[in-house]
Structure 1
């Protein structure tokens, strides 16, 4: 797989809220093998959304860019096979 253009985020540490700098993204839950189905979430005009699988609250923070998160380290990275 050559990567992905939509940022993917995970919540290995069980944070209640993760701030992100995009409004369209994929939630994976946690790292493989503890992930849930990778679902697309679109905040639309809202500034936050809850993942229907893992209940993580994602909050839009316009000061973050790309796949940056607050707290740091919540970006999901595909590992090469």
Structure 2
């Protein structure tokens, strides 16, 4: 159970194994974000812990429940 705190993400993006690039990373901003919200592109390691938070905008990228990453253990 989680409680609401000031560190709650402003957005959570669920990603599947097919959305990961290279060694299990996603990049932010993602292509679905509006142009006005752009910031420098950062690569976030989702494979290691199952989620990662962008330091620029606070968006959390989370691996979908039940997704299996082959070769990322």
TM-score bracket, normalised by the shorter chain, equals 0.5 to 0.7
For residues 43 and 50 of structure 2, what CA distance do their matches in structure 1 show?
16
* Higher-Rg member (1/2): 2
Alignment correspondent of 1:24: 25
TM-score by length of 1: 0.49
> In 1, are the aligned partners of 2:45 and 2:51 still within 8 Å (CA)?
no
The aligned runs of 1:1-80 (5 Å cut-off) are 16-21=11-16, 22=20, 23-28=24-29, 30-61=33-64, 62=67
More strand by share: 1
Structure 2 stretches lacking a partner, 5+ long = 1-9, 69-73
TM-score by length of 2: 0.54
For residues 34 and 18 of structure 1, what CA distance do their matches in structure 2 show?
15
Report runs of 4+ in structure 1 exceeding 2 Å deviation.
Answer: 29-34
* Aligned length in residues: 50
More helix by share: 2
